Amino acid sequence: RLEEAKKNLLRTHTTSASARALYQLARQEKFSPVKYFSIDRVFRNESLDATHLAEFHQVEGAVADRGLTLGHLMGILRQFFTKLGMGRASRGGSRGSPEALLNPSLSPGITQLRFKPAYNPYTEPSMEVFSYHEGEGGSGGSVWAP
């Protein structure tokens, strides 16, 4: 029914961005390396606990080139988290100047990461990344989060 189709729908994943990018890659006449990333809000109808929320931000991407290894993926993920700007520069203070926000060396982002092999039926290899962020006020606001 048309009325039903016009209703808003909460997005449960960002796979449509991956599918579009991979389709464009497959249509290339001559292969050329590509990188794409998508960050967006998604919603899940799950039981809430320490590691599952009904609403969260999903990060996904694809890097296509010849000769890539799992080490390359881990390096890209480290670079991504470092550039998140979650350091003190993003929370004000002297390091919160516009210059600090634009200069990654003044805003170190998230640099403490742990990688854990994981099974995802649609990607191989797969891993979970756990990040540590020292919050305001020291260890009381610090979290290792998936």
What band does 88 get if pLDDT is binned at 50, 70 and 90?
A: very low
pLDDT of amino acid 142 = 39
Query: Residue 32 in contact with residue 63, Cβ under 8 Å?
Result: no
pLDDT of amino acid 92 = 45
- Greatest Cα pair distance in the chain: 57
pLDDT digits 0-9 by tens, 6-61: 888 888 888 888 888 889 999 999 999 988 888 888 898 888 888 778 888 888 88
Could you give phi then psi for residue 76, rounded to 5 degrees?
-65, -45
pLDDT digits 0-9 by tens, 89-136: 444 444 444 554 455 555 567 778 888 888 878 777 788 888 877 664
Could you give phi then psi for residue 35, rounded to 5 degrees?
-130, 140
Gap between the Cα atoms of 56 and 136, Å rounded: 22
What's the one-letter identity of residue 84?
A: L
pLDDT of amino acid 30 = 93
Gap between the Cα atoms of 61 and 36, Å rounded: 5
Q: Is the pLDDT of residue 146 over 70?
A: no
pLDDT of amino acid 81 = 83
What does each C-alpha distance from 72 to 52, 65, 124 come to in angstroms?
A: 28, 11, 14
3-state secondary structure of 63: strand
